[in-house]
Amino acid sequence: MKTPSALFKSYDIIIVGGGIVGLTLACALARLTSLRIAILEAQSQFTPWSSLHYHSRVSAITLASQRIFQALGVWHEMQTKRVSSFKKMHVWDAKTRAKLDFDVNEIAETELGFIIENNLIQSVLEKHIQQCPSITLFTSIILKRLIENKNNIELITDNNGIFAANLVVAADGVNSWVRQQAGIGLDRYDYQQIAIVATVKTALPHQHIAQQVFLETGPLAFLPLSDPHTSSIVWTLPVAEAQQYKTMGQEGFKNSLSQAFEYKLGCVQSIEECSFLPIVKQQAMQYMKSHLALVGDAAHVIHPLAGQGVNMGLLDVASLFDVIMQAMHDNKSFTNDFVLRRYERWRKADNFAMAIGVDLIKNVFMSDRALIKLLRSSGIKMVSELGWLKKAMISHAVGNRIELPTLARSSNGH
């Protein structure tokens, strides 16, 4: 990691943001060896990963995302550290008692997905980047101005240093500074909900089964970690109720959580690394401008109930890599508006459809209307009984679908 020593530095591509999405993009672009790439990260260092305890922020990684990591040569090291896979998923409605079970045996795969700590993913990606001579990672970078020129974009730092690039990629998260500086509008909706994210130990083993219950207040998911009695939870609640748990003692919180999950894993014995995160939905009006592209949370954020946020960002990465690689193969400029619009069309439609689908699930499961409850129960039963429909749903959820970018495709054609 470096801090800038010269006032002016020029690169082919600058990625603003050193999170999972930004680091993965850098690793992908390093395959195009002629490119000079810089990553600008505001933090002085990344949250270190430790084998001694679990970090509360985890990601449910689909098979498509796993294939991206595999193609980039970082998956094996993640596996050797701490990756939890799950082969089954149980979903049920607390009100109607309708339930839906997914099993990997229903599709031609070995896992439904993986649960990995975010800081583990980042640490492995950072290590890989240090071995790539075409990538320079700068930390403690505070950006103050963005200047859009005809042939490049200049980023001015707080100490008047200048970073210039033919293409700037905003991977700087939900409150993207780059997106704001570029004047790109945002369609935003606040759900008035909080996601409680924590690591918990339970009396009964999770048996590597992911489970989610839809309560009247919102969904509660238990995601299995590598230790058989340890899970990562995501509990969506109205703001007022979440605040009560924030001030509640651990014993009361453990009892409430155990009861809400219907003691499926026995009593919750301990709660660690608890975070309270506001839930919003937002979509950038544009994913590109001249010499600029948005990826990950800088471009889109959806409700966390499906656990698809980071997977959508990784598909952004793989799609942008494809259009840049194709442009270079065709001897075209990858900063060409036509090239970047291809990326925008590809990802914006897919991400918008995912956001709509997740909202539909949320609204259907949280409705108290008698007709909706009846349709909900009947619909779950129908999906459970129609094998072809259930198989299609599982395949889509794990990331096996048409028009996947190159890095996300499996060898058997998904």
- pLDDT score at 2: 60
Q: At what angle do helices 75-82 and 63-71 cross, to 10 degrees?
A: 120
List the beta bridge partners of residue 91. 100, 212
Of the candidates 26, 14, 77, 62, the one whose C-alpha atom is nearest the C-alpha of residue 310 is 62
List the beta bridge partners of residue 85. 114
Q: Which two tokens stand for residue 14?
A: 């600058």
Mention every residue, 6+ apart, whose C-beta is less than 8 A from residue 318. 28, 68, 404, 405, 406, 407, 408
- Sign of the torsion angle spanned by Cα atoms 394, 115, 74, 104: negative
Of the candidates 237, 209, 238, the one whose C-alpha atom is nearest the C-alpha of residue 225 is 209
Structural domains in the chain, CATH included, are: 8-83+118-188+281-367 (3.50.50.60)
Residue 98 in contact with residue 156, Cβ under 8 Å? no
For the chain, the distance separating the N- and C-terminal CA atoms, rounded to the nearest angstrom, is 37
If you write DSSP's letter for every residue of 38-102 in order, what string do you get?
EEE-SSSSPPPP-TTS--S-EEEE-HHHHHHHHHTT-HHHHHHHH-EEESEEEEEETTT--EEEE
Question: pTM for this structure?
Answer: 0.92
Q: Residue 184's Cα: distance from chain center in Å?
A: 22
Show pLDDT as tens, one digit a residue, over the chain (414 residues). 665 555 799 999 999 999 999 999 999 999 998 899 999 999 988 888 888 889 889 999 999 999 999 999 999 999 999 999 999 999 888 888 878 888 888 777 889 999 999 999 999 999 999 999 999 999 999 999 999 999 999 999 999 999 999 999 999 999 999 999 999 999 999 999 999 999 999 999 999 999 999 898 989 999 999 999 999 999 999 999 999 998 898 999 999 999 999 999 999 999 988 999 999 999 999 999 999 999 999 999 998 877 788 999 999 999 999 999 999 999 999 998 999 999 999 999 888 888 887 777 776 666 666 656 566 566 666 655 555 555 666 666 666 666 789 999 876 544
* Distance in angstroms (rounded) separating the CA atoms of residues 179 and 387: 44
Residue 152 in contact with residue 291, Cβ under 8 Å? yes
CA angle 143, 149, 151 (to 5 degrees): 115
Q: How far is CA 290 from CA 178, 182, 338, 341, 398, in A?
A: 13, 10, 10, 10, 34
- DSSP conformation class of 266: B
Name the residue with tokens 């979440």.
242
- Type and span of the H or E element at 27: helix 20-29
For the CA atoms of the chain, what is the radius of gyration?
A: 22
Parallel, antiparallel or unpaired: strands 113-117 and 292-294:
unpaired
Of the candidates 319, 326, 370, 369, the one whose C-alpha atom is nearest the C-alpha of residue 345 is 319
- Type and span of the H or E element at 236: strand 230-238
Backbone angles phi, psi at 19, to 5 degrees: -80, -170
